[in-house]
Amino acid sequence: MTRNNKSTKSTKSTKTHTNNKPTWKDNPMMRELLMMHTYCRPSGSATEAKFCALYIDSLPGCTIDEAGNRIITVPMANGAAPRVLWSSHTDTVHRVEGIQKITYGDGIIGLPVGSTSSCLGADCTVGVWLMRQMILRGAPGLYIFHAAEEVGGYGSSHIATKTPHVISGIDYAIAFDRRGTTSVITHQGGSRCASDEFGRALAVNLGPEFKLDTGGTFTDTANYTDLIPECTNIGVGYFHQHTADEYQDIAHAFDLLDALCMLAPEINDLPVRRDHTAPKYDGSAWWQDDWSKTTTKTAYRVTDSLEDLVYNNPHAAAAMLEDMGITADDFEDYLRAVGRH
């Protein structure tokens, strides 16, 4: 794969925007989103800590649990506890921490040609930005900025197993951690995490381009499927995540923010249909039994080699490659290169 230039990137999104055309010069939210993308934040790094201190810890009511999750509650207008969890994560898959240069043009954030950075980090910088802006606008909800998602979902696993009272009374868990501009995830790793009825209702509120997507892999809401009925992940407008070709559709992020702030006060009207207490098929849910219960990657791989895991979970492996921006053509080229095709 080759890095896209700016003109190529601008043709990737077919969505037509009639408003919300932000420019960094006169839009503080735009300037903030651009600056947030300069932070390379491997899990547990000093750069991640600086990023959190600046953009999350400064928000009113922020608390930090033992796992490093940042938690903020914005009550409903009548003072009632919210029934929705908004989810993002603070780490990125950058190999090296620090500050990187980015480019912005034609509504796209990306990396400049010649950058040595391993990715842009829109996964999950855009999710953090969305939640920050929603809090500043007073949109009700339980907001959890999860720690260590990219290295195994340890922040959300800590809440699910050690402090489940934090999410008591929550009916909807909505993550901002999906590529593209259309997905409302109903399955993660092959297991149902949200009902179609809820998914369709959510999609209607987000915009006409949104539709149900059964091809989700893993994000933090997957660790809550035994505790919360409706757990999903929605497309926030990044593409080719986890690669140097990653880029972000800015207009989609701004449109989505407006839709979410309109939806949040009425979120309780959405249906709750999935029975989260029922037994689940987990033949390809590669995280549910082993991944979320371990404390290190090494511990997870004690009993299974990577080849065994891929052989036993082909659908999850293919979905994970796709989420990393690897296409069927890319994989076919690789097979030819190593003489296995």
The per-residue pLDDT for range 152-208, each reduced to its tens digit, is 999 999 999 999 999 999 999 999 999 999 999 999 988 999 999 999 999 999 999
The pairing of beta strand 211-213 with beta strand 247-249: unpaired
**Better-predicted residue by pLDDT, 135 or 11:** 135
pLDDT, position 166: 98
Residue 199 CA to residue 183 CA, distance in Å, equals 10
Where do we find the tokens 């290169």? 337
Q: If pLDDT is split at 50, 70 and 90, which confidence band does 288 have?
A: very low
Residue 200 CA to residue 4 CA, distance in Å, equals 34
**Better-predicted residue by pLDDT, 315 or 314:** 314
Tokens of 164: 């489940």
H/E stretch holding 130: helix 122-136
pLDDT, position 18: 44
Residue 38 CA to residue 36 CA, distance in Å, equals 5
| 258-262-200 Cα angle (round to 5) | 95
Please check whether residue 267 is in contact with residue 170, taking contact to mean a CB–CB distance below 8 angstroms: no
How many C-beta atoms lie closer than 10 Å to residue 208's C-beta?
9
The pairing of beta strand 141-146 with beta strand 84-89: parallel
pLDDT, position 278: 87
Full DSSP string of 53-106: HHHTTTSTT-EE-TT--EEEEE--TTSPPPSEEEEEES----SS-EE---EEET
Q: If pLDDT is split at 50, 70 and 90, which confidence band does 19 have?
A: low
pLDDT, position 20: 55
| Entry pTM | 0.81
pLDDT digits (tens, 9 = 90+) for 207-264: 999 999 999 999 999 999 999 999 999 999 999 999 999 999 999 999 999 999 999 9
pLDDT digits (tens, 9 = 90+) for 81-121: 999 999 999 999 999 999 999 999 999 999 999 999 999 99
State the distance between the two ends of the chain, measured CA to CA, in whole angstroms.
19
Tokens of 95: 């190999």
Please check whether residue 178 is in contact with residue 122, taking contact to mean a CB–CB distance below 8 angstroms: no
Residue 284 CA to residue 256 CA, distance in Å, equals 31
Chain centroid offset of residue 60 CA: 23
Tokens of 321: 């490659």
pLDDT, position 286: 39
The amino acid that residue 36 corresponds to is M
Could you give all domains of the chain from N- to C-terminal order, each with its CATH number?
A: 6-269 (3.40.630.10), 291-337 (no CATH)
The reply to whether omega before 231 is within 30° of 0 (cis) is no
Full DSSP string of 152-167: T-HHHHHHHHH-GGGG
pLDDT, position 297: 37
- 216: DSSP letter: B
User: Looking at the predicted structure, is the pLDDT value of residue 279 above 90?
Assistant: no
Query: What are the DSSP E strand ranges found in 106-259?
Result: 108-110, 141-146, 172-179, 183-185, 187-188, 191-192, 211-213, 230-239, 247-249
pLDDT, position 10: 36
Q: If pLDDT is split at 50, 70 and 90, which confidence band does 302 have?
A: very low
pLDDT, position 307: 62
User: Looking at the predicted structure, is the pLDDT value of residue 274 above 60?
Assistant: yes
SS3 44: coil
pLDDT digits (tens, 9 = 90+) for 23-34: 666 799 999 999
